[in-house]
A and B are shown apart, each in its own frame.
Chain A
Amino acid sequence: MTQAGKDESDDKGFPFFVVRMVAPSSTALEKLTSDIRELAQANIERARRIFRSRTLPLLGSDARLFNSVFLEPLSSALDYAILEAIHDEAALAILALPPSGDELRPNLRIEMVHAGKGDDCRIQFQYAGALLGRYWCRHGKA
């Protein structure tokens, strides 16, 4: 088999990352005053819609498919949506992401789902080829 032929057969389609949105927990929301909690809940719902709009559903799972390795822009958009119009410092501290202990891995509003358990940090991918099965075809070739 030629190199080109090998590359072609290795093609599995677009790789999607499996991701989840990290929203403030219900315990955190309980700590807010009722008016701010209501606002935060509406904000979280809006952030969820933004998250849905930029990712694809993964059937049978609460995780979703994301098409980029760059999580920060979407994470910032979600953070902005969640904290929008909340000016109370105590509330902001409750809703804000905790500071990261690792400079290389900042805390984000999105987390990548791992393939394994425990210390196995491999990231879970889903390829378009596998997701579409026999219906998968590339530009110009069936």
Chain B
Amino acid sequence: MRSARADLWDLNQSEDRSSPAPIVDVRDADSLFRELDESVRVRGIEALAWYHPFHISADKWGIYIPITSVHYCAARWFNPRIRPSHRASLALTLLLNHEVIHHACEYMVAQFELLIRVCCWVPARDRLKKAGLEWFNDEEALANANSVRQLRASAPRTIIDGVDQALRQSPPGYRDFPLAVSDEGFQDHILEVLRHNVGIPAVDLQTGFLDPSFDALAFFPDLDDARARCPLYLIDDSRHFDFPPLSPRIINCIPHIVETNRFQSMFRKLELRRQEEWQQVKMSLAKEVPRHPKFKKLKGRLKGFWGLYLNDGFRVHIRPAANGIWEAVEIGSHTAMGHG
């Protein structure tokens, strides 16, 4: 299951327990989890999900997450009293927030490669291998710190503490994330990743890279943007196990939208050209969703809604309803929708 954007997914509990997969895994869920316990202890979160770099593959790059890993995180890292679908959603978000850092770091290095016209990312990877290292500790600490930071923004303390404790059982680098959780630590780790990747060629070319006035953070992308530009692959490998069924959904297009009464009442008050724009947007949504930031998941009091941005600051709030149908709930200008 592939999405061109790692921010366009939805995860719900499914009613469908039928159609068992033809190939049956010889392991049961418990032995799979025990195997994963050991793998996570040795290889950190990368045992559960991984990022395939665009320096290696032009068409297969992106974030890969097996659904069994989502079940594993949901079961091992979150309180069982939390609703299973919510736990799964938290788990998937946590894995994504780790992996998106690897994409953001690669993107940052690529920007620098374009600037100094020297290959940096591959040599840095080779230097790691030569030093007998499998990963760069600061990058893994940064990635885990991002998962914790993002969780802090939306989850209660008890949930964060559970994840915090689980991540501290990881191997070196991964478990050093507490140093990167503060804003200062986070920036320091981003810069250390950059120094590792581009520092030697940049200094060799006398670019002033280590001068205190050099603003290297400007090369690091906004993480929402990074998520929206990175492909996501959800690997459905869970059907051989007796897990609570999940229905992960990648949102590539929205073919069916129904307009609620509230929406229609707001819509009738709009100018004709705005009404026509909505009709056109609806047609294009049936083929594909717009690029970030024209379409994004909303947070805070609008959690559960998706924002669709029209011209001149107008926007539409939509949300998934049953059977693949979406509801358009509100339409209006930024201020009319209660913002700013």
Contacts and interface: CB of A to CB of B under 8 A. Distances in A.
Interface in A45-63: 49, 52-57, 59-60
Interface in A7-32: 13-14, 16
Given A49-B184, A53-B191, A60-B131, A132 B123 contact: yes
A57 B203 contact: no
A54 B212 contact: yes
B188 interface: yes
Interface stretch (B143-151, B193-201, B253-261, B271-279): B193-201
A39 interface: no
Given A49-B184, A49-B188, A65-B200, A60 B123 contact: no
Among B127, B132, B133, B196, chain A packs the most CB atoms within 10 A around the CB of: B127
A137 B131 contact: no
Given A53-B191, A59-B127, A67-B210, A132 B132 contact: no
Contact of B188 (A52, A57, A65): A52
A128 B128 CA distance: 15
A56 B126 contact: no
Nearest to A55: B210
Interface in B182-212: 184, 188, 191-192, 195-196, 199-201, 203-206, 210, 212
Given A56-B200, A60-B131, A132-B200, A139 B126 contact: no
Nearest to A64: B195
Contact of A57 (B119, B195, B206): B195
B203 A56 contact: yes
Nearest to A49: B188
A131 interface: yes
Contacts of A138: 204
A16 B203 contact: yes
Given A59-B131, A132-B201, A53 B212 contact: yes
A131 B184 contact: no
B122 interface: yes
Contacts of A59: 127-128, 130-131, 133, 196
Contact of A128 (B126, B131, B196, B201): B201
Interface size class of B (residues with CB under 8 A): 20 to 34
A56 B196 contact: yes
Contact of B204 (A13, A52, A53, A60): A13
Q: Tell me what chain B mostly uses at the interface: helix, strand, loop, or mixed.
A: helix
A128 B127 CA distance: 12
A57 B196 contact: yes
Nearest to B184: A49
Nearest to B201: A132
B118 interface: yes
B203 A131 contact: no
A56 B210 contact: yes
Contact of B126 (A57, A67, A135): A135
A13 B131 CA distance: 20
Given A128-B201, A135-B123, A137-B118, A60 B195 contact: no
Given A16-B200, A52-B195, A128-B200, 18 more contacts: A13-B204, A52-B192, A53-B191, A54-B212, A56-B199, A56-B200, A56-B210, A57-B199, A59-B128, A59-B130, A59-B131, A128-B203, A131-B200, A133-B130, A135-B122, A136-B201, A136-B204, A138-B204
Interface of B: 118-119, 122-123, 126-128, 130-133, 138, 184, 188, 191-192, 195-196, 199-201, 203-206, 210, 212
The 7 closest A-B pairs by CB, nearest first: A128-B204, A59-B131, A135-B123, A60-B131, A56-B199, A14-B204, A49-B188
